[in-house]
Amino acid sequence: MFKKNTPRLIVIGVVLLWGLYALVPTFKFNSLSANEKAAMTEAGTLEDLEKKSIRQGLDLQGGMHIVLEVDIPTLVENLASNRNDRFYAVFDKVKAEDQLATENFIGRFMAEAQAQELRLTRYFMDYGSDPTAIQTALEDEATDAINRALEILQNRVDEFGVSEPTIQKQGNRRVIVELAGIQDPDRARSLLESTALLEFALLKDGAVTQNLLTRMDRVLKGSDELDGVLETEETPVAEETEARTADEQEVSLTELFGTTEEDTVAEDTSEVLVDKDLFEERPFSSLLRQIGNDLGVPEQNLRAVNRIIEMAEIQSLLDAGEGRFSLTKEIENWTLPEGGAEAFYRMYHLESDAGLTGGVIEEAQATLYNGQPIVTLSMNSEGAKTWSRLTGANVGRRLAILLDGKVHMAPVIRTKISDGQTQVEGFANMNEAKDIAIVLRAGALPAPVDIIEERTVGPSLGQDSIDQGTRSIITGLLLVLTFMAFYYKGAGFIASFALMWNLILVLAVLAAFKAALTLPGIAGLILTVGMAVDANVIIFERIREELGKGKTPRSAIDSGYSRAITTIIDANVTTILAALVLMQFGTGPIRGFAVVLFWGILTSMFTAIFTTRTIFNVITSKRELKALSI
């Protein structure tokens, strides 16, 4: 008889060892002191250990609650194939109203356009031949944009490694995101807001750039619009740049990854560094510096340069095919010939149209090369062909890599690249490289998104919840174990062993499948304890009935399990189905409860039916029992 139990014992032993092994990282992580965690963080090993341990939900360890709003006005502006002053007269008016009434921007835009007799077919010729068709098409585009934004945000958060995030729509232009255990809120916040537009654009020839600067100086010379350009303001340049970026509803991708010391300097650096007489002669080029083969914009001159580029005369000149100017995000220091140093941004004169965009990126991976973080890019077949033509026809020219309109780097094309592979270098750290890889894999957002609400859940609330939940589990478990031992005697101890093992297996499953333990999940654990012991109660009562009929212990055990198993399966199957429905359609804490309940039922059936039966088989196989302690 014992030999027949050998396979069952092997299965039980393997599952038990696996459960203990899966929980080792959790025990190790929770036993670390603050200093040990800090040391492991510096060594880069804490994150791997945390990923293998049981994760905690937002309600237990705190995190972020963010409400994002998709920028529908910017989407409508981008969809317009033709934009002029008449278009912007209507658009800007409705957009200003949109700050107060955020609902139905498209409907109000269409109404205002018709009131001002704006020919919409001229601006949205690809979306219909009459206003009704255009409005329907724009509303469909807006709905599609929100759905795509939801999917892209989901992909970004999933790869970011947050446990059990909640991402769901609210209304027709908002998305709610809840992130548990965020260690770097700024990094997560910017990761969500970034549009993640990747572009590859060729630099203009130096002679062409010099010719353009000369023409710009000629156009600007004596212009009344230059009045006030050199005026100083109390607003630091860094703050002015951030305000301008916010007004444009765009966030640079490289702003995701923390601020540099220069970014946070709160001193007044707005005084323009230029000779007044030279400025009158060369209004634009006098604000620039020659930095090697590149143009540099001193930090103090940034505001003035931006104001000049935004002037209507200069925009008309650039729109006529003269290209565009783009700056780097990161500030650099340049040693002056006369000594000292000057902070500046590099400025590049680029072709108007990008030679390639990030839409062709199939894979982006962050890795280390010669000890430096890089991102390797793989393109699809269409992108590989375009990349091959672009690099092959422009060997020796420089190609700028732009992330959300900011130049990240501008290397020289050394050779034709025909395999669709390339790499981006120059990251400050591995986290920056990883985050850029995440947003490139997930894709660019169809429209900018803005954070309109943000709340942080403190860790103290989570610790209180954990402590109360732990006490409730221990209290309930002790009461159940005491009852089983008192009421069912020896059999009760067997059920208690199975019950303890059931809890270990549930926690092991949570750790192995990287599921999060929430406060409702703790309630699911308590419910699992009750359901697990309920199965044993049914079995033991059936065995008692069989013993009351005069059967031997071994025969009573066989009959008791045979009669009880159908009832146990029927009762548990309905609960499993309910848990599956909650797992499929529930979010956040509801889903956390469903996950624990689902796996708790499966493990309880394994321990209550398979494990306890094996233990009884082993006991009865050694000798013929006269009586059974039950």
What is the side-by-side strand order in the sheet with 166-170?
166-170, 174-180, 63-70, 449-457
pLDDT tens-digit readout, 86-143: 888 888 888 887 666 656 888 888 888 888 888 888 888 888 788 888 888 888 888 8
Q: At what angle do helices 2-30 and 612-622 cross, to 10 degrees?
A: 140
Write out the H or E segment, with its range, that includes residue 390.
helix 381-392
461 class by beta-carbon count within 10 Å (0-12 exposed, 13-18 middle, 19+ buried): middle
Residue 587 has what pLDDT? Answer: 66
For 161, residues 6+ apart whose C-beta sits below 8 A from its C-beta are: 47, 51
380 class by beta-carbon count within 10 Å (0-12 exposed, 13-18 middle, 19+ buried): middle
Highest mean pLDDT among 170-179, 189-198, 220-229 belongs to 170-179
Using pLDDT thresholds of 50, 70 and 90, give the confidence band for residue 228. Answer: low
N-terminal to C-terminal alpha carbon distance within the chain: 22
| Closest alpha carbon to 535 in 498, 505, 590, 486 | 498
Q: Among the listed ranges 4-18, 390-404, 423-437, which one has the minimum average pLDDT value?
A: 423-437
Residue 348 has what pLDDT? Answer: 92
**What is the C-alpha to C-alpha distance for residues 565 and 371, in angstroms, rounded to an integer?**
60
Q: Is the dihedral of CA 248, 254, 259, 264 positive or negative?
A: negative
Q: How many C-beta atoms surround the C-beta of residue 420 within 10 A?
A: 20
**Phi and psi torsions of 453, nearest 5°:** -155, 140
Percent of the chain's residues with pLDDT above 90:
1
Give ranges for CATH 1.20.1640.10 in the chain. Answer: 2-59+459-622
For 38, residues 6+ apart whose C-beta sits below 8 A from its C-beta are: none
CATH architecture of 2-59+459-622: Up-down Bundle (1.20)
Residue 229 has what pLDDT? Answer: 64
For 243, residues 6+ apart whose C-beta sits below 8 A from its C-beta are: 235
**Phi and psi torsions of 339, nearest 5°:** 105, 160
Using pLDDT thresholds of 50, 70 and 90, give the confidence band for residue 203. Answer: very high
Question: Which is higher by pLDDT, 180 or 384?
Answer: 384
pLDDT tens-digit readout, 414-436: 888 888 888 777 677 777 777 77
| pLDDT surpasses 80 at 273 | no
| Closest alpha carbon to 127 in 178, 78, 176 | 78
pLDDT tens-digit readout, 235-265: 343 444 343 333 333 333 233 223 333 333 3
The pLDDT of 196-218, averaged and rounded, is 87
Residue 409 has what pLDDT? Answer: 81
| pLDDT surpasses 60 at 526 | yes
For 84, residues 6+ apart whose C-beta sits below 8 A from its C-beta are: none
Amino acid at 440: L
The pLDDT of 471-496, averaged and rounded, is 84
User: What Rg value do the Cα atoms of the chain yield, rounded?
Assistant: 33
The pLDDT of 262-276, averaged and rounded, is 49
pLDDT tens-digit readout, 591-622: 778 888 888 888 888 888 888 888 888 887 76
Residue 132 has what pLDDT? Answer: 87
The pLDDT of 462-479, averaged and rounded, is 76
What pTM value is reported for the model?
0.55
